[in-house]
Structure 1
């Protein structure tokens, strides 16, 4: 038996990376991008309709805090649970099933007429939405060559488990980076969903018309799309650490300045765009960092748990924002407070630099 030749071993990741299938890859990118487009639309929609809901239902602004957080809490549970299922039975069936599920829930949303019913339906919708980004990014990453993987995973973010337990994320020296990436995602999503949900309402209270307030919210997301596309290009050239540190440092300044320039529309649009570029655009970079750091067997788990833990921040952001507004904080104080978590993200990137080795061409697991 010892004289028999060893069985040939096929390295699936290497074969996929070396296979040139441009038409298939373009279709996969487009389909996953459409799934994330719907995900992004649902995440922002409540922020845009919040002023109208407040006026038509005659409810206090603070009543919408739990509504904003309900879908985000559902996303948290969906990302943690369905990413595990995806790595066991396949990403495609989970992605298709979740998309069908949350689409039905979204269609039912306009027919509710009470805050409790809206909270319940938003939570149910979030359960399906939670697995969209991790599975879409994992699929695109696996069918991309190493030279284009980061850029394509971040591009698809415009528009997560494995057979191994979550403990694998902390083995083989991955523990420190896992915790740091979770913390960065947590801090950044606090700010992202505070801005996405409350910015139009705060701007309307600042004296702008509903149309202008919506434009301000749209500029935030436009900056996010621009940041997602450009940051991937920069990361592939100078690395995650340098780009993310600069990104979150600028974000802290931009977000902290919104309240001070809220009365001057041109400057308001500039700083909101910059904040969207760095905060909204920076989150796909954090997701791509998780996908780039972990090996193939842990990629969906790594992205899923990074987003899942980060979603805790997305639940906290709208709730805390609503409470600060209820306490009649000034716009300046409100956005100064919002800048603190993203400043923490910048400092955590410095810690990340110390926890990772210098980049090596021989290893794809180097995030810096």
Structure 2
């Protein structure tokens, strides 16, 4: 813990903690309430619960896509920020539009971008620290994020109860996702080897293996 808060890591640590908190705030706040909200927006009972499954399916695709792009470019910080920004805009689109195809597209995009970015944030966190504290760094990131996961459904529900509308919930989640993207840019970019170097290293390891 003391290493994570040293001067060379402090800015990165706080940026990761804040962005992880906001990320799981968005993920769990939206996931917990999306069936209820979609029924309020005129979707059928069965379709409303299908939106939750759609988010999870698209998160798998989004995590793979972002992971591949990060491996190719090495710009993990910028790509994670872009993913969260697109996810936030997708949620904000639900504030102004209530059409079936928009509901489907926006919820799918939220899963693809917001949850997909969270998967890659775990790898970004590990790569941002020296080997001796990487497990602690990832554990603390997930621990702080879990506070956001607890508050997300509570705050989303409280906003709906107070305003009698899902609009404030969508606003809070959309803005939080965009804020997470802006905050992660404050972290230091981990050093990463270009893809050509990785391929060369893999080739050398293959040549070095003894013949059977």
Q: Under TM normalisation by the shorter chain, which class is it?
A: 0.7 to 0.9
3-state SS of 1:351 partner: coil
Question: In the alignment, which of 331, 346, 350 is matched to residue 185 of structure 2?
Answer: 350
State the distance in 2 between where 1:222 and 1:268 align.
16
CA–CA distance in structure 2, aligned partners of residues 360 and 204 of structure 1: 46
Gaps of 5+ in 1: 1-165, 363-368
C-alpha distance in 2 between matches for 1:337 and 1:172: 32
Give the match for residue 114 of structure 2: 279
Structure 2 residue 26 is matched with structure 1 residue 191: yes
Shift of 1:277: 0.7
Name the residue aligned to 1:251: 87
Q: What's 1:241 paired with?
A: 77
Q: Output the CA distance in 2 between the equivalents of 1:176 and 1:242.
A: 16
Structure 2: 5+ residue stretches without partners: 195-212
Flag the 1:319–1:348 CA change in 2: closer, same or farther, 3 A: same
Equivalent runs, 1:138-217 vs 2, <5 Å: 166-171=1-6, 173-217=8-52
2:210 maps to which residue? Answer: none
CA distance in 1, matches of 2:153, 2:190: 37
Q: TM-score, normalised by structure 1?
A: 0.50
1:315-330 matches, cutoff 5 A: 315-330=150-165
Q: Report what 2:67 is aligned to.
A: 232
Task: Report if the CA contact (8 A) 2:92-2:174 is conserved.
Answer: yes
Q: Output the CA distance in 2 between the equivalents of 1:172 and 1:313.
A: 25
1:309 counterpart residue number: 144
Structure 2 distance, partners of 1:281, 1:299, is 21
Quote the offset at 1:172 in angstroms: 6.4
Q: Please, which of 55, 76, 99 is the counterpart of residue 220 of structure 1?
A: 55
Q: Partners of 1:331 and 1:198 in 2: how far apart?
A: 9
The 3 A distance-change label for structure 1 pair 315 and 325 is same
Deviations 1:331-352 (A, max 9, x none): 3333122211111112113322
Matches within 5 A, 1:51-62: none
TM-score by length of 2: 0.84
CA deviation after TM superposition for structure 1 residue 233, in Å: 0.3
RMSD: 1.9
Q: Alpha-carbon deviation of 1:249?
A: 1.2
Larger Rg: 1
1:260 aligns with 2:122: no
Alignment: residue pair count: 193
SS in 2 for 1:207: coil
Q: Deviations along 1:176-196, whole A, 9 cap, x unmatched? A: 101110011011111100011
Higher relative contact order, structure no. (Cα contacts within 8 Å, ≥ 6 residues apart)? 2
2:126 is matched with: 291
Cα deviation, residue 357, structure 1? 5.8
C-alpha distance after superposition, 1:195-235 (max 9, x if no partner): 11111111122222220101111111111111111110011
